Amino acid sequence: DATSSVTGIASGMDISIGGLSDLMAQAQGTADADASTVSGQATALAAQQSMGIEDLEMLVSSDSDLSAISSVFGGANADSTANRADADMEFDATGIDGISMSIGGIGSLASTASVNGSADASSVSDMAQASADMDATGINDAHLFSSSDGDISGTAVIDATVNSINIGTESIDKAFAFGDFDAEGITELELGVGGVASLIGQAQVTVDMNASSVQGKAEANSAYNDNILESLNQITGLGNVELDGASVGSITGMAIGDFTTTADSVSEDASASAAQSMRGIENLNLDLGGSGTINAIVNDTSYVSASSVSGNASATASVDAIGLDGGDIHIAGDATIVASVNAQSDAVASTVG
């Protein structure tokens, strides 16, 4: 069911606490779909949304410790002997989407969102198509103020496997594997800290995709969206952040990608492509009253391979990677700023005929 969802703390909550606060919200969804047939078309759709906290207003007079965990697990599997097979996986996890907090003491907030699954389609005599649309966001739309120290972290993790395999009887019996994968650690954050500030946002995406056909074409595209002409996987550690800190501060944004995209055909053309847009920290507006440390890190590995025995083969790998991108930074004391990008892309195409 495309509308299936789980929520830890639903929208509209207003919480006021006169002393110490320790609050934890967790939402975990599981979606599995299996379809198998001999003569008919096999179609499997696994769709699930998960939300840790949505639109929360909170007032805490003393120290506060808040954590949110949102996760989705599952997959789609479709098998057909004499007809087409389609497996589609649509997962979306958000740790916190909308929060306003005022904390009279030390504030600690940690949020994690993760999606993990596989889509597998196989057909003996017809087309096989496997797809995934996966999104993970640690923290989105947060307004936080802490009178003392503030420690904020948001993590987004995607782990996906997409496989399409067929034998086919003619050239139009294609094996097609595709997907769109977007992850953000923290985005749209307004943060005020009266003491020491610590902010960490991390987004990590791992994708293993393969399309394989004997008689038909094989195509694998790990950055494909039906609604976007030129799709990119968007992976951002920290995005659109405003931080006003009275003392020292440490800010870290990390974007990590690991993509393997392969396509192979015996009789027809094979094509494989991957494209990522990576940002460690994007649009940081910072004002610190003491010293500051900024680490903006991007690590991306992409291997793309296409091979054909009798047809043509094409492989394309592209990445747009920036460690620290945009913003306005003011640090009253000493400053250490590190922007690091390590991107390795390999595209290999081979053909015999």
Q: Please identify every stretch of the chain with a pLDDT value under 70, giving residue numbers as ranges.
A: 1-3, 225-231, 353
Q: Residue 296's pLDDT is what?
A: 97
Q: What are the phi and psi torsion angles at 168 (to 5°)? A: 80, 165
What is the chain's percent helix, strand, coil content, to nearest 5?
Answer: 0, 80, 20
Cα-to-chain-centroid distance, residue 327: 23
Q: Residue 284's pLDDT is what?
A: 96
Which one, of 59, 53, 67, 56, lies nearest residue 17 by Cα? Answer: 59
How, if at all, do strands 150-166 and 218-221 pair? unpaired
Q: Residue 170's pLDDT is what?
A: 83
pLDDT in tens, 269-325: 999 999 999 999 999 999 999 999 999 999 999 999 999 999 999 999 999 999 999
Interatomic CA distance for residues 115 and 148, integer angstroms: 34
- pLDDT, mean over the chain: 94
How, if at all, do strands 128-146 and 197-213 pair? unpaired
Extract the tokens encoding 329. 């930074």
Burial of 352 (0-12, 13-18, 19+ CB in 10 A): exposed
Interatomic CA distance for residues 346 and 9, integer angstroms: 43
Interatomic CA distance for residues 227 and 150, integer angstroms: 40
For the question of whether the overall pTM of this predicted structure is more than 0.85, the answer is: yes
How, if at all, do strands 233-245 and 175-193 pair? parallel
Sign of the Cα torsion 42, 211, 46, 28 reads: positive
